[in-house]
Structure 1
Amino acid sequence: MQKILNFCSDIEFYLKIAVSCTIVQQVFYLLLNNIKIDFITQVLLYWLLGSISFYSIGILIEKGIKNNEVLRDKLTARVKKVKNQAFPSFTIRGIITGEIKAFLSALIILYLAPEVHRGNSLLLNLGWFLMRIVAADFCFYVAHRLLHTKFLQKIHLKHHEFRDSSSFVAGHKSLVEYIIVAIADVLPIFIFGYDITQLCAWSVIGNAYNLEGHSSLSIFFIPSDFHDLHHTCFNGNYGIQGFWDRIFNTLNPPTKKPGVMFPVSFIKYITIQSSISNDIEKT
C-alpha cells in the first residue's frame, strides 16, 4: 500500500506540473495567437518571461510568504534543522551576468530546437507537458548525479554552499554547472519540439516549482523535504522529485507534508495514523 501511495505522490507532482503548464499555455495562446512573432521576438519573450517570473516568484516566497510567521510555520517542509544562513545580497554585476547567460541560453535553444505549432488543444498540450516533465526529470537526474561524482563534484560545490535553502539558491551555480543543467533541461525540447506558447508556460511554471523546491516550503508543487535532504546530506535525491531516485535506488526518504494541496500525502498520513491506532488497540 505504501509503495502505491509513494508512486501516486510522484504522479501527483507530474500531473500538477502538466495541468498548471496547460492552463498557463492557454493564456499565452489567447494573447499571442493573432500576433506574428519572429525569431528575435520569441527569444526576447522567452528570456524576459523567464527572468521576470524567476525574480518575482522568488521575492514573493522570500519576502512575502517567509515573512509571514503563520504561513512560514504552516508551510515549512524541512524536518532536519540546519544552521541559518544569510543568502548573499544581489549585486548589479551578478544580475547582469545572470541575464546575459539567460539571454544567450534562450537564443541558442530557440535557434537549435525544432519549432512546431500545436494550437490550443487541451489534450495535446497536456500530453506534451506530461512527457516534458517526466523526460526533464530523468535528464536532470542523470546530470545531477554525475555532478556528485568525484570527477565533477567541484563544479557543483558552489550550489551546495547553502544548506538552509533560499529560493534563489536555485540560480546559485557555477557557469559550467549552469551550462550542464541548461542542456539537461532543454534536451526534451529537441526530442518533442517546441511551440512558443508551450515554452513560455514551461518557463513560468518551471521557475515556480524550482524556486519552491529550494525554499524549504511546501506551497503547491513540492510535497516534502525531498530537496532539503539533498542539500543537508549532499547525496541521494538527485531528481526533481522522487520518481527516478526510487527507480535507481538513490532515494533518501523524505517526510511528506500532508494537506489539501497534497492529497496523496494526506491519504498516506491518514493510513499511517490508522495503522498506528490499530496496533495500539491490539496491544
Structure 2
Amino acid sequence: MVQQVFYFLFNNIELNFITQVLLYWLIGSISFYAIGFFIEKFIKSKDNLTKKLTARVKQVKKQSFPAFTLKGIITGEIKNLIAASIILYLAPEVHRDNNLLLNFGWFLMRIVAADFCFYVVHRLFHTKSFLKIHLKHHDFQDTSSFVAGHKSLMEYIIVTITDVLPIFIFGYDITQICAWTLIGNIYNLEGHSSLSIFFIPSDFHDLHHTGFKGNYGIHGFWDRVFNTLNPLTKKVGIMFPVSLIEYKIMKFFSRIDKYNSFDNDDYESKT
C-alpha cells in the first residue's frame, strides 16, 4: 500500500539518476528522524501508551542517548547520500507494473533475501574476528530508537553493501525502493525503542540487545531456520491488526510444539 502511494505521486514524473538519488535519500532521512522523534517525544511521553506498548521483559539501567550535534547530523547525511548514490548506481533499474499482487511478491522476496543477507553479516559481527566493528552499536541496552543509526563507519559500509545485494538481485523500481526504505525505518526504529507499536515484534531485536546473542535477522525467519531465535514475549500491538494475527500464529505453533513434546515424552515412557 505504501508503494501504491509513491506510485501515484511519481509515476507520471520523469526522474533522472540524480533526482532518484535525492528522492531516495530524502525519504530515508526525513522518515528516519520523523519516526524516531514521534516514538521518543510523543509515544514515550504518554505513560499510558508506554505502559501498554512496552515489550521489554528484562529491565536494564536507563541510558540517555547522546545529544544530536550539527556535526553528527551533517556527517550522517553525507554518508546516507553517498550510500544512496552507490546503491542506485550499482543496482539495475526495473520498471514494474503497478500490480498490488506483484508488488507484494516483490516485497516478500525482498524481505526474505534482505533478511538472509543481514542475518549472515550480523551473525559474523558477533564472532570474535568481527566483534570490534559491531561493539559501538551495543553501547546501549536500554535503547533509544535512534540507536538504530549508532554504528561504526566500518559497520555502516558493510551494512550498505549488504543492502545492495538483494536490490542487485531483484533490481529496483524507485517507488518500491522508497516504500522499502520507509518501512525499513519503521521496523529499525521501533525495534530499538523497546516498544511494541506497529506490526513488527519489537522485542525481537530488544532481546538481542539485552542478551547479546541470538535474533540476528530482521524478522526472525532465518533465526528459526538456523535455531538462533530467542523466544519472543511481545504484547499484542494496538495500532495494526497484523500484530494480532502474528500473535495467533505464534500461539498456534507453540501449541503444536507442546503437543509434539507431550507425544514424544509419552512414547518414551511407554518404550
Find the residue that maps to 1:157 and give its secondary structure.
Answer: helix
* Match of residue 231, structure 2, among 245, 253, 256: 253
- Paired with 1:222 and 1:118, the residues of 2 have a C-alpha distance of 27
Which residue identity does 2:47 align to in structure 1? E
Do structure 1's residue 75 and structure 2's residue 57 form an aligned pair? no
Partner of 2:88: 110
How many Å apart are 1:184 and its aligned residue? 1.4
User: How does 1:102-251 map onto structure 2 within 5 Å?
Assistant: 102-251=80-229
How many Å apart are 1:34 and its aligned residue? 1.1
- 1:272/1:41 Cα in 2 relative to 1: closer, same or farther (>3 Å)? closer
Structure 1 stretches of 4+ moved >6 Å: 270-273
* Match of residue 44, structure 2, among 63, 66, 69: 66
- Paired with 2:21 and 2:249, the residues of 1 have a C-alpha distance of 43
Find the residue that maps to 1:158 and give its secondary structure.
Answer: helix
- Paired with 2:231 and 2:253, the residues of 1 have a C-alpha distance of 17
Flag the structure with more relative contact order, 1 or 2, with Cα contacts below 8 A and sequence separation at least 6: 1
Give yes or no for contact 1:166–1:215 (8 Å, CA) kept in 2.
yes
- Paired with 1:97 and 1:128, the residues of 2 have a C-alpha distance of 33
TM-score if structure 2 supplies the norm length?
Answer: 0.89
Which residue identity does 1:29 align to in structure 2? Y
Partner of 2:269: none
Give yes or no for contact 2:6–2:175 (8 Å, CA) kept in 1.
yes
Deviation sequence 1:178-234 (CA, Å, 0-9, x none): 111122122110000000011111111110111111110111122252111111111
RMSD: 1.8
TM-score if structure 1 supplies the norm length?
Answer: 0.85
- 1:137/1:242 Cα in 2 relative to 1: closer, same or farther (>3 Å)? same
Give yes or no for contact 1:259–1:266 (8 Å, CA) kept in 2.
no
Find the residue that maps to 1:225 and give its secondary structure.
Answer: helix
- 1:228/1:120 Cα in 2 relative to 1: closer, same or farther (>3 Å)? same
Deviation sequence 1:92-128 (CA, Å, 0-9, x none): 0100010000000011111111001003111111110
Give yes or no for contact 2:192–2:202 (8 Å, CA) kept in 1.
no
* Match of residue 247, structure 2, among 249, 265, 269: 265
User: How does 1:43-62 map onto structure 2 within 5 Å?
Assistant: 43-62=21-40
- Paired with 1:111 and 1:77, the residues of 2 have a C-alpha distance of 39
Which segments of 5 or more consecutive residues in structure 2 lack a partner in the other structure? 259-271
Give yes or no for contact 1:78–1:217 (8 Å, CA) kept in 2.
yes
How many Å apart are 1:134 and its aligned residue? 1.0
- Paired with 2:47 and 2:75, the residues of 1 have a C-alpha distance of 34
- 1:234/1:35 Cα in 2 relative to 1: closer, same or farther (>3 Å)? same
Q: Which moved more, 1:41-50 or 1:26-35?
A: 26-35
Give yes or no for contact 1:224–1:257 (8 Å, CA) kept in 2.
no
How many Å apart are 1:143 and its aligned residue? 0.5
- Paired with 1:259 and 1:108, the residues of 2 have a C-alpha distance of 36
Give yes or no for contact 2:191–2:202 (8 Å, CA) kept in 1.
no
Which residue identity does 2:183 align to in structure 1? I
